Amino acid sequence: MWSIGNEIPEGHPRIAPTREFIRLAKMLDAIVKSEDKTRPTTNANNERANATNEYGQTLDIYGFNYSCYMFGPFKKKNPNKPFFGSETQCAIASRGVYTFPVTWGWTQQKTGALHVSGYGVEACGWSGDPKKGWACAPDAQWFNMDAHPECMGEFVWTGWDYLGGPYWADSMVKKFKIKGIHSCATGFIDLAGFPKDTFWLFQSRWRPDLPMAHIVPHWNWPDRVGKVTPVHVFTSGDEGELFLNGRSLGRQKKDPKNWKKAYRLTWDDVIYEPGTLKVVTYKNGAPWAEKTIATTGPAAQLKLEVEDNAEPGADLVFVNLEVQDAEGRFVPDAAVDVTFMVKGPCELVATDNGDEADFASFHSPTRRTFSGRLQAIVRKNANASEAVSITASSPGFTSVTTTLSR
């Protein structure tokens, strides 16, 4: 498809007459087709009114930027017009951060919090109503897509966090007297490349034949003993049973008629106690996938791991650090200061932890772990044959070193 534009201001009736928008669109459509008659034309619309006014018939394919609840009215007005989600969701989440109670809707704008819940229930400017607003949680988007299977698909904003924070307006920064954030947390992968919980929610949707299950949140909550701590499970299965310290907390089944329960399994009344949380999932009645998480001990050691998916000959190497307890279990709430040092024909290019509220320089060799993880990016000298080493150290921990061979 060729697009004639994205979120064009003249496409809003309150800015310009719809007839003028149609005239411009037809002119651009003609230009596109004079160059290439083999591909259809489209446009990324973020104005709800265009879904039901005469503009819907102007181009070959209608592109919805958000407002997925308008799929139905659009099809009623344009029963034979193809359409797709040209930009969808704008859901936000911070890796490893969870807020209580679990609230569907955007709570950040009311509280000034720098981080957003990892449950995957918030979206920019969203009230939590799947029939209002523009952005929405993945569940609401998919519910409308499944109600209208003629929808060709969607392009999600975004897969990966990126520098810049469009949902943090200057007025909010001034209102709460805070510095703000440096990256937009709309991805299901954070800025450092670490997957958030919502990564597995998308995986359960996009890879339905892959047996998988993921539990939200982590289970390190010393201040929540005896308090309600909801548990959500993202799975490609359709049913699951949750166990806390060996006790069954019941069996849940996805409900395709309830948008909040169609794509995740939820146990909303779990009373927190430390120990082991396990889910056993099923698909079509047969065992499908299992997942277990546990309360860890305190942070006791560092672990370095070199990503092994670099292209042959790549000069950049990504080295990931995680904080572990004495038993080697990942500590999901660990926040410790780590300093990286490299030796050999190389340089430390950057460090990052995926925290959208951390304004430390990317060039700083010292950075605090965020939700237990940290990354260093090293550039190797392409003309050198010697090995390269990188060392991570932190007060109170034994330093760890890994060697990068040529």
pLDDT category at 171 given cuts 50, 70, 90 is low
pLDDT category at 311 given cuts 50, 70, 90 is low
Are 159 and 67 in the same domain? yes
Would 173 be classed as within a structural domain? yes
80: Cβ–Cβ under 8 A, 6 or more apart, which residues?
none
Which pLDDT value is given to residue 170?
Answer: 62
Which pLDDT value is given to residue 182?
Answer: 80
Which pLDDT value is given to residue 404?
Answer: 82
Q: Give the separation between CA 253 and CA 264, rounded to whole angstroms.
A: 9
Are 142 and 106 in the same domain? yes
Domain boundary among 242, 275, 294: 294
pLDDT category at 380 given cuts 50, 70, 90 is confident
List Cα–Cα distances, 168 to 46, 65, 108, 135, 360, in angstroms: 19, 20, 9, 15, 19
Are 169 and 266 in the same domain? no
Would 146 be classed as within a structural domain? yes
3-class state of residue 42 by DSSP: strand
Which pLDDT value is given to residue 90?
Answer: 95
Over 80: is that where the pLDDT of 384 sits?
no
Which pLDDT value is given to residue 312?
Answer: 62
Are 98 and 217 contacting, i.e. CB atoms less than 8 angstroms apart? Answer: yes
Which pLDDT value is given to residue 195?
Answer: 98
Are 141 and 215 in the same domain? no
Are 88 and 163 in the same domain? yes
pLDDT category at 168 given cuts 50, 70, 90 is low
Which pLDDT value is given to residue 167?
Answer: 60
Q: How big, in percent rounded to 5, are the helix, strand and coil portions of the chain?
A: 20, 35, 50
Would you give the distance in Å from CA 349 to the centre of its chain?
25
The conformation of residue 385, written as its DSSP 8-state character, comes to -
Q: What are phi and psi of 20, to 5 degrees?
A: -70, -40
The overall average pLDDT reported for the chain is 94
Which pLDDT value is given to residue 181?
Answer: 77
What's the mean pLDDT in 318-338? 97
3-class state of residue 176 by DSSP: helix
Torsion of CA 34, 35, 39, 42, to 10 degrees: -70
Q: Give the separation between CA 401 and CA 389, rounded to whole angstroms.
A: 7
What is the domain range of residue 308? 301-404
Instruction: Indicate which CATH number applies to the domain containing 337.
Output: 2.60.40.10
Are 380 and 345 contacting, i.e. CB atoms less than 8 angstroms apart? Answer: yes
Domain boundary among 247, 270, 294: 294
Q: How many CA atoms lie within 13 A of 202 on its CB side?
A: 19
Sort strands 62-65 and 41-45 into parallel, antiparallel or unpaired: parallel
Are 115 and 45 in the same domain? yes
The conformation of residue 165, written as its DSSP 8-state character, comes to -
Are 180 and 222 in the same domain? no
Are 318 and 277 in the same domain? no
Of 118, 125, 126, the residue nearest 99 (C-alpha): 118
Would 65 be classed as within a structural domain? yes
Are 15 and 121 in the same domain? yes
Over 80: is that where the pLDDT of 62 sits?
yes
Of 292, 296, 295, the residue nearest 241 (C-alpha): 292
Would 204 be classed as within a structural domain? no
pLDDT category at 144 given cuts 50, 70, 90 is very high
Amino acid identity, position 315: D
Are 368 and 353 contacting, i.e. CB atoms less than 8 angstroms apart? Answer: yes
Work out the burial of residue 317: count CB atoms within 10 Å of its CB; fewer than 13 is exposed, 13-18 middle, 19 or more buried. Answer: buried
Domain boundary among 294, 310, 329: 294
Q: What is the DSSP string of 259-296?
A: TTTSSSEEETTPBP-SSEEEEEEEETTEEEEEEEEE--
Q: Which of 127-131, 288-292, 382-386 shows the lowest mean pLDDT across its residues?
A: 382-386
Are 277 and 265 contacting, i.e. CB atoms less than 8 angstroms apart? Answer: no
Are 145 and 19 in the same domain? yes
Would 189 be classed as within a structural domain? no
Q: Give the separation between CA 97 and CA 267, rounded to whole angstroms.
A: 19
Between residues 29 and 315, the one the model is more confident about: 29
Which H or E run contains 366? strand 366-368
Are 7 and 146 in the same domain? yes
Q: Which of 154-158, 169-173, 228-232, 396-400 shows the lowest mean pLDDT across its residues?
A: 169-173
Q: Give the separation between CA 153 and CA 159, rounded to whole angstroms.
A: 15
Q: Give the separation between CA 150 and CA 71, rounded to whole angstroms.
A: 10
Kindly state the tokens that stand for 134: 């523009």
3-class state of residue 90 by DSSP: coil
Would 360 be classed as within a structural domain? yes
Would 191 be classed as within a structural domain? no
Number of structural domains (the chain) is: 3
Angle of CA points 130, 131, 133, to nearest 5°: 85
pLDDT, tens only, 200-249: 999 999 999 999 999 999 999 999 999 999 999 999 999 999 999 999 99
Of 123, 102, 264, 232, the residue nearest 186 (C-alpha): 123
Are 143 and 76 contacting, i.e. CB atoms less than 8 angstroms apart? Answer: no
Which pLDDT value is given to residue 126?
Answer: 93
Would 42 be classed as within a structural domain? yes
What's the mean pLDDT in 15-28? 95
Are 267 and 325 in the same domain? no
